[in-house]
Amino acid sequence: MMRGFYPHQWLPLVLALPQILLILLFFYIPVAQAFYWSFFLERPFGGGSIFVGWDNFYRVLMDREFWLSLQRTGFFMLFGSVLAVFLPLILALAADQQIRLSYPARNILVWPKAIAGASIGVVFAFIFNPFLGILAPLNELSPGFWNPRTQANDAWIMLLIAHVWNGIPFNFVILLAGLQSVPQTLLQAAAMDGAGPWRRLFDIHIPMIMPFLFLAFVLEFTESIVGAFGLVDTMTEGGPGGATTLLVYKIYIDGFKAYDLSGAATQTSLLMVFVIVLTLFQFLYLEKKIKYERG
Amino acid sequence: MVEDTRLLHTAANIILLIGMAFILLPLVITAIVATQSYEDFIAQGLSLRIGDHFWQNIKTVFTETTIPRQITNSVIVALLVACGKCVLAFLTAFAIVYFQARYGTLIFAFVLATILMPIDLRVITTYQIAANIMSPINGLMDLSGLNDLIERLGGQRLYFELSLLNSYIGMAAPVVAHGTGTFLFRQYLRTLPKDLARAATLDGAGPIRFMIDIALPLSKAPMAALFVLMFLGGWTQYLWPLVAASTPDMQTAVVGLARLAPNLEEGIPDYPMIMTAALLVSIIPLGVTAFMQRFITYGLTLVEK
């Protein structure tokens, strides 16, 4: 760790102060308030609050819907992030080759970065519309083949496709940067020794980009927990029959539609604890398992 | 390479073609449906025939929806987010990297922790704060007993109120309260030679002068990268602007587009018009992405380093 140069004691604090105040106001206080509210029964529109101890937690944890939506969040996190990291990895491996198509690909594959989850949600909801969309002809051949409004599996497939579409740019750019930092000489030496493309992939590329893969997964996990809101809200509205009600969506409905502020705050606290534990686990446990062989 | 790479390259080409098709397909369908008329669309369903109704659809969007007004809102909010983030993040990163003060690390940890919990996760209580950003002061005065004292002396309790809901600042500020920019600038500033500050000091320039005249011009590239990324980030926000603005006139374009989309059972909606709106809502950020792609790649990889 290198030390700074200027010896001023107060100036750095003054420079950082605007950012500190903003973060205090819109990050730390809301986070603290979510935990604080979890112990109070808060009335909507400022009707005062009563201390209720662990009652809110008791209420939330006894609610089957909470566990179901947490389970769905976990499910989405696992499937969503595995797909949203491995498909870009395959694309990055292809774009890392010396081919002409690699140039347009590097531009076009970043485009989804410009499109909001909710916007592409509107578009995909239309494309996968059972009566008007691209799968409508199949529905005419065999009625009920595809209908995300009534079949939970179809709704999930639609959500995951949209999630992967939106997640490609970041993971593609990160993993491609990782692949391009692998020294060419190492690959040439391996090829001289008779290591084929598959062998090089598993013995050189993958181990060398482990830190990049790790970063992609860490960020993707959080992203899949919270970023799914725009997709769910525009594509399935939590349906059919609550099958896609992820926890972020349930918190929004409970808090802003049902005005159960205490319940929503309690679920927010629990989700935050979940995210913190998950991230700490990744950093303290998983990161040690990854060998950093790069300088 | 020392081996025959034809097979490998063919495979790579096919993979990239599939990947690009996957990305482009929804965009192309959106663009094509946007050219069709409602009547044609109803008659044919989803078809890839290019219609001649594009200008008509654009006119409909401009006259019958609030989308144009909301696009202006999005531009303002996205610019506020991008500018706010660049300025605040640069100041903080400079403070962390160029000063010996020991609490710099503390500030860095304080800022970095925000990456863990994006705005969508803390939206319930952030909304309460934005509804009255003075509420922490009220709370402090109640807790510290100051308000009791004031009540005894003046007969009335003090209560401040200032709402940021339905304002551009309110839609941008909580999004700016996030640590990626600081992290990005810190990574970059640490790569600059330390002797720059020493040389500047010998020439009689203080830290502020050094920051403005030397560090800032040297940081043009990461600044541009952060600006582009945060502009896109501000534009594509959904949950926060959805709750922070309650009137259609103040909502952002993405929220407006989602409101245009039909409820589940309501006959056949005017999809050509909705797709035209989707196109209009996405054209600015898409242009930024396609033409400033260099900065995006640079910015994202800088975060990684």
Share of chain B above pLDDT 90, in %: 39
What pLDDT, on the 0 to 100 scale, is given for residue A9?
Answer: 85
Residue A89: CB partners within 8 Å, gap ≥ 6? A171, A175, A213
Closest Cα to residue B90, out of A26, A1, A15? A15
Query: Taking 50 as the threshold, does the pLDDT of residue B67 lie above it?
Result: yes
A71-78, long-range: CB < 8 A, 24+ apart: A72/A243, A72/A244, A72/A245, A72/A246, A72/A247, A73/A225, A73/A246, A73/A247, A73/A248, A73/A271, A76/A159, A76/A160, A76/A163, A76/A224, A76/A225, A76/A228, A76/A246, A77/A221, A77/A224, A77/A225
Q: Provide the pLDDT for residue B17.
A: 94
Does the pLDDT at position A238 exceed 50?
yes
pLDDT bucket at A1, cuts 50 / 70 / 90: very low
Coil, strand or helix at A246: coil
- Contact between chains at A119 and B282 (C-beta distance less than 8 A): yes
For B156: left if phi > 0, alpha if psi spans -120 to 50, otherwise beta; the answer is beta
Which two three-digit tokens encode residue A35?
């935990």
Q: What is the pLDDT of residue B2?
A: 53
Cβ distance A168 to A108 under 8 Å?
Answer: no
**Chain A partners of B33 at a C-beta cutoff of 8 Å?**
126
The most distant pair of C-alpha atoms in chain A lies apart, rounded to whole Å, by 77
Asked if A5 and B100 come within 8 Å (Cβ–Cβ), the reply is: yes
Q: Looking at residue A143, what is its pLDDT?
A: 78
Give the pLDDT of residue B73.
94
User: Is the pLDDT score of B277 beyond 60?
Assistant: yes
By C-alpha distance, which of B50, B21, B2 is closest to B275? B50
Give tens-digit pLDDT for A170-192: 899 989 988 988 888 888 888 88
- Could you give the angle at the alpha carbon of B291 between the alpha carbons of B289 and B292, nearest 5°? 65
- Measured CA to CA in angstroms, residue B95 lies from A11, A37, B227 at distances of 8, 35, 20
Q: Does the pLDDT value for residue A20 go beyond 50?
A: yes
List pLDDT tens digits, range A141-160.
887 788 888 888 889 999 99
Residue that wins the pLDDT comparison between B156 and A180: A180
Task: State residue B250's pLDDT score.
Answer: 92
pTM of the prediction? 0.90
Question: Which residues 82-121 of chain A have a CB within 8 Å of chain B?
Answer: 87, 90-91, 93-95, 97-99, 101-102, 104-121
**d(C-alpha B220, C-alpha A106), whole Å:** 23
Residue B185 tokens read as 């600038």
Say if residue A253's pLDDT is above 70: yes
Nearest CA-CA partner of B264 in A291, A149, A247: A149
Mean pLDDT of A99-113: 90
pLDDT band at A293 (very low <50, low <70, confident <90, very high): very low
Instruction: Inspect the interface and report whether the beta carbons of A15 and B9 lie closer than 8 Å.
Output: no
CA A264, A269, A271: angle at the middle one, nearest 5? Answer: 90
List CB contacts (< 8 A) between A8 and chain B: 99, 101, 207
Band (A295; pLDDT cuts 50, 70, 90): very low
Distance from C-alpha of B64 to C-alpha of B58, rounded to nearest angstrom: 10
pLDDT of residue B148: 81
Q: Is A205's pLDDT higher than 70?
A: yes
Q: What is the mean pLDDT of residues B65-85?
A: 94
Per cent of chain B over pLDDT 70 is: 96
Nearest to B225 by CA among B262, B187, B282: B187
Where residue B252 falls among pLDDT bands split at 50, 70, 90? very high
Q: What is the pLDDT of residues B199-234, one digit of tens each?
A: 888 888 888 999 999 899 999 989 999 999 999 999
Instruction: Let me know: does A81 contact B248? Beta carbons within 8 Å.
Output: no
List all residues of chain A from 6 to 65 with a beta carbon under 8 Å from chain B: 6-9, 11-13, 15-16, 18-20, 22-23, 25-27, 29-31, 33-34, 37
The answer, yes or no, to whether residue A43 has pLDDT greater than 70, is no
| Nearest residue to B111 via CA among B126, B139, B90 | B90
The pLDDT of residue A268 is above 50:
yes
pLDDT at A39 over 80: yes
| pLDDT for A274 beyond 80 | yes
pLDDT at B266 over 70: no
